[in-house]
Amino acid sequence: MKDFFTSIRLLAWFTVLCGGIYTLAVTGVCQTLFKSKADGGLVAAKDGSLQGSELLAQKFASDRYFWERPSAVDYNPQSSGGSNLGPTSAALKKAVDDRKDALLKAHPGAGDPPQDLLFASASGLDPHISPEAARYQIDRVAKARNFGPAQVTALKALVESSVEAPDAGIFGQARVNVLKLNLALDGIK
């Protein structure tokens, strides 16, 4: 019987320690050091309206905006994940071929699209594209918005200024956050 009560006390102690104290400590550290990300990385437009999260991909279907990476979960954060299709999968080959055909049709004369516009990310929610993928889409976006030469120059400069360097200069790759780029894009007149 003594072992039973010892077990109950240990259960209560670890519940308080792991379920309460540890959770409060981690939440406090994150809210102090990484407040924006801890709060979901929410992005607001200039008018203050909530536009989305810089941490999760959102679908942009209009030619007037830069497109994000494909998503195996249709950009649903509740069921994030990849497709689990392997390199010999006929379904993956068909999906990639269909995406490539659609991109070549939307970007005539631009050449083969960058790989990140063809393949979904592992989570299906990657909010970034490569700088090459952003540059690949410039002509389509400019044409859809009827941009003149000065506006196209501003658009190219916007894309270049939107490139984020690898973390700490060495971790990961250069990238462009699609939501932030598209919000800034609406500022070009």
The per-residue pLDDT for range 44-88, each reduced to its tens digit, is 777 778 888 888 888 898 999 999 999 888 888 887 777 788 889
| Contacts of 133 by beta carbon, 8 Å cutoff, 6+ apart | 69, 113, 114, 116, 117, 176
Among residues 46, 42, 47, the alpha carbon closest in space to that of 58 is found at 42
The answer on 7 and 51 residing in a single domain is no
pLDDT at 79: 78
The answer on 80 and 106 residing in a single domain is yes
148 by Cβ neighbours in 10 Å (0-12 / 13-18 / 19+) ranks as exposed
The answer on 110 and 68 residing in a single domain is yes
Report the chain's C-alpha Rg in angstroms: 22
pLDDT at 14: 93
The answer on 102 and 180 residing in a single domain is yes
The answer on 62 and 152 residing in a single domain is yes
Percentages helix, strand, coil for the chain (3-state, rounded to 5) are: 50, 10, 40
The answer on 35 and 56 residing in a single domain is no
Tokens of 39: 């709060």
The answer on 84 and 29 residing in a single domain is no
Domain count, the chain: 2
The answer on 70 and 33 residing in a single domain is no
The answer on 96 and 29 residing in a single domain is no
The answer on 170 and 134 residing in a single domain is yes
pLDDT at 171: 93
pLDDT at 146: 95
The segments of the chain whose pLDDT lies below 50 read: none
**What domain range includes position 84?**
40-185
pLDDT at 130: 96
Q: How many CA atoms lie within 13 A of 70 on its CB side?
A: 20
Distance CA(169)–CA(165), nearest Å, equals 6
